[in-house]
Amino acid sequence: MAPLALFSSLPFSSSRLDGSCTALKLRLQFSAAFHAMKRRRPELSSSSAPRLAAPPPPETDDVARRWLLLDLDRSELSLPLTFPTGQTFRWKQTGPVQYTGAVGPHLISLKHLEDGTVSYFIHSRSCDSSAAAALLDFLNSDVSLAEIWAAFSAADRRFAEVARHLAGARVLRQEPLECLVQFLCSSNNNIKRITKMVDFISSSGNYLGSVEGFDFHEFPTLEQLSEFSEEALREAGFGYRAKYIIGTVKALQSKPGGGVEWLKSLRKMDLPETIDALCTLPGVGPKVAACIALFSLDQHHAIPVDTHVWQIATRHLLPELAGSRLTPKLCSRVAEAFVSKYGKYAGWAQTLLFVAELPSQKALLPSHCLIMKDEKTTD
C-alpha cells in the first residue's frame, strides 16, 4: 500500500505566459503595415510544466497559421481519454482526433498530430495569450502525469499495466459553476441526455461560434442562469432536476460576496469541508460533490463513488466487501481505500481506472490485463 503522503515530495511547477493583449495587437498592426514582421507567440516563463511551443512559420492561409503546438505528447494528454469520459459534457468531437469547446470566453479546438502531440486553434478573436493561459489552466497543466503515474505504478502493478495502454487520461480543472451545473444534470442520467440538458442551459450564454455544425457558447453567468424558470427546464426535459438547478442558483446568489467567489473559495478548504459545503446546495449529494471537488476545486484526492467505482474497489482494493450493498458508510470506506493506495492524487488514479472500465476503452486492453484484474482479488 502506498502511504497517504506518497506524493508529498513530488515537485509540481506552473507555467505563466509573458506578454499582453496590447503588445500582441501592436505586433499585428506593425505586420499589417510593413508585411515583413511575423506574428510571434508569447513565451512562457521557464518551468518544467507543459509550455506552448513556437508556431510553425507563417503561411498564406491565416487559418493554418493559427494552429499552434502544445508541448504535450499523448502520454501527458490523450484527448479521447479525457473529453468523452464524463468529466465535462460541453466539448464536442469535431474531427477524427479533434475536440472543440469553450474555455471561459474562448472557443478552442484541440487535435492530435500524427506523432501524438497536441495542437490547438483559437477560433474566437480574443487575446491569444489570455486564451492560451486559460487553456493551460483548464488542462491542469501544472500536474505532470509522468511523475504521478510513476508513483502509482510503483505502488500498484495492475495500474502500471493499464497505464501502458491508456496513457494520457487527465483530470480537467473546470470553472466551478460550470462543473456544478453539469453534474446537477448528471444525477441518475445517461450521457446523451446529460449532454442535451447541458447544451440547453449553455445556449443562454454568450455565443462564441460554430464548428462542424456545433454551436458553442460561453457558460452562462449566475445572472443568466437566474432567468430560467423551473417550468421552462421541466418543459425541456430536466424533470426533477429542474428544481435543484433553480434552487442552487438562488442559493448561490444569496452567498455573501457572490456565489462564484464562494465556490472558488472551496479550493482552499480541506476536502471534508468542501464536500460538506457543496452538500448544502439543493440536489448535491456526496457523489456529485466529489465530482465537483475533483474536476473543478483542486481536491485531487476526491473519489466520486458510484456503482462502477464500487465494482472496481471490491475487485481490487476491498475484495472482502464483494456482494455487499453500497451504503454511505461504505462509500467513505472506498474513498479511504483509494487514498491509502494512491495518496493525495488518488482521484487521478481512480479516473484512469474508471476510464479503463468503459466499454470503448476495455476493448483496447489486452486480455492479460483483464486476467490480471480478476486475479487481484486472490492476492
Give residue-wise pLDDT tens across range 80-125. 999 999 999 999 999 999 999 999 999 999 999 998 899 999 997 7
Same domain, 226 and 317: no
Q: What is the CATH number of the domain that holds 121?
A: 3.30.310.40
Active site residues: 287
Is the pLDDT reported for residue 19 higher than 50?
no
Look at residue 325 and tell me if it is in a domain.
yes
Is 293 found in the same domain as 178? yes
Which of the listed residues 260, 278, 298 is the one where a domain comes to its end? 298
SS3 annotation, 259-316: HHHHHHHHHHCCHHHHHHHHCCCCCCCHHHHHHHHHHHCCCCCCCCCCHHHHHHHHHH
**159 located within any domain:** no
pLDDT single digits (tens) 172-182: 999 999 999 99
Does some domain include residue 243? Answer: yes
Q: What is the CA radius of gyration of the chain?
A: 22
CA dihedral 3, 4, 9, 10 (to 10 degrees): 100
**Percent of the chain surpassing pLDDT 70:** 77
- Among 298, 330, 356, identify where a domain stops: 298
Please count the CA atoms within 13 angstroms of the CA of 319 that sit on its side-chain side.
9
Q: Count Cβ atoms below 10 Å from residue 319 Cβ, excluding itself.
A: 13
Q: Is the pLDDT of residue 376 over 70?
A: no
Instruction: Count the Cβ atoms, other than its own, within 10 Å of residue 47.
Output: 13
Which residues, including other chains, have CB under 8 Å from residue 315's CB and lie 6 or more apart?
322, 373, 374, 376, 377
What is the enclosing helix (H) or strand (E) of 68? strand 67-70
If one counts every other C-beta atom within 10 angstroms of the C-beta of residue 333, the result is: 15
Judged against a pLDDT cut of 80, whether residue 146 lies above it is answered with yes
Residue 33 domain-assigned?
Answer: no
Total domain count, the chain: 3
CATH of residue 256: 1.10.340.30
**Based on the domain organization, do 199 and 260 belong to the same domain?**
yes
Tell me how far apart the alpha carbons of residues 250 and 247 are, in angstroms, rounded to a whole number.
Answer: 5
Tell me, yes or no, whether 334 and 276 share the same domain: no
Cell for 204?
Answer: 443562454
- Residue 74 is predicted with a pLDDT of 85
Contact 213, 232 (CB under 8 A): no
The boundaries of the domain holding residue 120 are 68-142
Euclidean distance between CA atoms 298 and 288, whole angstroms: 15
**Using 50, 70 and 90 to split pLDDT, how confident is the model at 300?**
very high
Average pLDDT over the chain, rounded to whole? Answer: 83
User: Tens digit of pLDDT for each residue in 220-278?
Assistant: 999 999 999 999 999 999 999 999 999 999 999 999 999 999 999 999 999 999 999 99
- Pairwise pLDDT comparison (182 vs 359), residue with the higher score: 182
Whether the predicted pLDDT of 30 surpasses 90: no
Q: Residue 52 domain-assigned?
A: no
Which helix (DSSP H) or strand (DSSP E) does residue 164 occupy? helix 157-165
Residue 249 lies in a domain: yes
Q: Pick from 248, 278, 298: which residue ends a domain?
A: 298
| pLDDT exceeds 80 at position 279 | yes
List the CATH number of the domain containing 342. 1.10.1670
